[in-house]
Every structure is written in C-alpha cells, then in structure tokens.
Amino acid sequence: MTQPDLSIVPSPAAVSDAAAAFIVERLADAVRERGVAHWCTTGGSSAPGIYRALRTSPLRERLDWSRVHTWWGDDRFVPADDPLSNVLPLATILREPGAGLAVPDGNVHPVPVAAVRARGGGPAEAAAAYAAELEAAGPATGALGVPVFDLVILGVGPDGHILSVFPGSAVFDSAAWVESVPAPTHVEPHVPRVTIHPRLVEAARAVLVATAGAGKADVLAAAWAGGDPRELPLRATLAANATWLVDEAAAAGLR
C-alpha cells in the first residue's frame, strides 16, 4: 500500500495557511514549467479559509493568476448564489473586488449548473456539459485517458467521501469524466450533485487533502489503514501524488 505524505499542523487555521502555501507553490511551478496551470478546487468547509489565506501577502504576489485556470471537482445542483454552492466561496472571497488577485473571467470554469438550470435541464446535462468544457479548454489528457490537473484539492466528508463520490458510489463504474450523482440520503446536504471521476484524482500531478477537526479523526484513520476505495472513497488518495494536510485533532487516529 502506498501512503501519501502526511503533514500535521496545530489548528484549522494552520491547515488553511499551509494549504494556501502549497497551492501557490504547485501552481507557480506549473506556470514556470508549462506557461499555464490548471487546478481543481473544492467547496464545503475547507474552501473559505484557504481562499482567505490565498489573498494575503506575500502569497498573492507569488503567483500570476492570469495564467491559472480554476476548475471544480464537484458542485451541488443549486443556484450559484445558494449557500450550498461550491462556487460561491471563490466568487465572494478569492474574486471579491479588492482581493488583489487578477483572475480573468475566462479562466474560471464552474460546473455549468446555473446555465443548465436556466434552461430547465438537470444534473446529467450539467455533467455532460462540464465534460465537454474539460475536453475543449481543460488540461491535456494523459496516460489514463483523463485530463491531468496540476493540482486537485479535496476535502473529506464525514463518511469518507471525496468529491461527490460517496461510499458504494456507482460513479466508480462510469467511463465518463464527469457524472451526475443523486441526492444522498445519508449525509447532508440532501441535494443532487455533479462530480468528476476519481480517475482524475489518480491522474493529477499533485493532490492535496485538507481537513480538520476531531470529527474527521475516525474516518481518516480507517482510510489510512487501507482497503477498498469503493467502501471509503478517501482511500483513493493513498497514492504517491497525494499529501494529507490535517490538524492535530483530525490526526488523532494517525499517530
């Protein structure tokens, strides 16, 4: 079993700060090496603190955001201004006027939930449209037949899900790059989702799992012990391209 790098920091705030530094380092390296960077960000509780840290000096001066393309690993099928939207934190924190980051509109690639909802479509249509945009404007396809992101950021659900890939998910059996996911009944929020396939996590140049809190300790420990990712999707990050960044409370079962 391959284990990811493990970095344990004192607090949730330290997780946000360290994650922001990791993001800037990896994306700046990609820009230097290839002239452009593609990263896949997250939502949920992890994103706001990371985005606030990315706004601070000197981090914001260390990366040319005009050369960075931002994608999402998943989103809820809700309006873009809904508090449940994974896009909303980036729009209101990282792209807020005065944030000091020059992020061109054309470099931001949300799952097209708003456009699809406006024409009466559903999650499956949004998934197909997002896959088409990835093929047209995303990073180059690699050996696994999927786009190769420079960096994928992941939070951890209380049940060990990553993206919107839940334990026992049928997404594992899909050949598509992007899939729709029915509203989960076992974990909130109970709304339909759109998610990239875990193969895109496997293919990425770097993966950062960032999470905090004692409530995540048991699921992190269970995943770290290994086993079938279908039972605990977080196990899909037990790979050489991954780093786990967790606070001391979340790491209680990893020591």
Lowest mean pLDDT, pick from 96-110, 119-133, 162-176: 96-110
- Whole-angstrom distance, CA of residue 254 vs CA of residue 5: 12
- Whole-angstrom distance, CA of residue 82 vs CA of residue 88: 7
Q: Which helix (H) or strand (E) holds 129?
A: helix 123-137
Does the pLDDT of residue 1 top 90, yes or no? no
* pLDDT at residue number 102: 83
Concatenating the DSSP letter of every residue in 137-156 gives HSPPB-TTSSB--SEEEE--
Lowest mean pLDDT, pick from 69-73, 94-98, 104-108, 201-205: 94-98
Q: Which residue has the tokens 């994650």?
A: 19
pLDDT tens for each residue of 50-68: 999 999 999 999 999 999 9
End-to-end CA distance of the chain: 18
- Whole-angstrom distance, CA of residue 242 vs CA of residue 231: 19
Task: Tell me the helix, strand and coil percentages in the chain, rounded to 5.
Answer: 40, 20, 45
- Whole-angstrom distance, CA of residue 205 vs CA of residue 242: 9
The answer to whether the CB of 49 falls within 8 A of the CB of 86 is: no
Instruction: Provide the token pair at 178.
Output: 């992007």
Domain positions in the chain are: 5-254
The dihedral sign for the CA sequence 253, 163, 144, 169: positive
* Average pLDDT taken over every residue of the chain: 95
pLDDT tens for each residue of 116-166: 999 999 999 999 999 999 999 999 999 999 999 999 999 999 999 999 999
Which architecture does CATH list for 5-254? 3-Layer(aba) Sandwich (3.40)
Nearest residue to 10 via CA among 249, 252, 254, 255: 249
* pLDDT at residue number 231: 97
Q: Which helix (H) or strand (E) holds 194?
A: strand 193-196
- Whole-angstrom distance, CA of residue 137 vs CA of residue 145: 16
Q: Label residue 188 left, alpha or beta by phi (over 0 means left) and psi (-120 to 50 means alpha).
A: beta
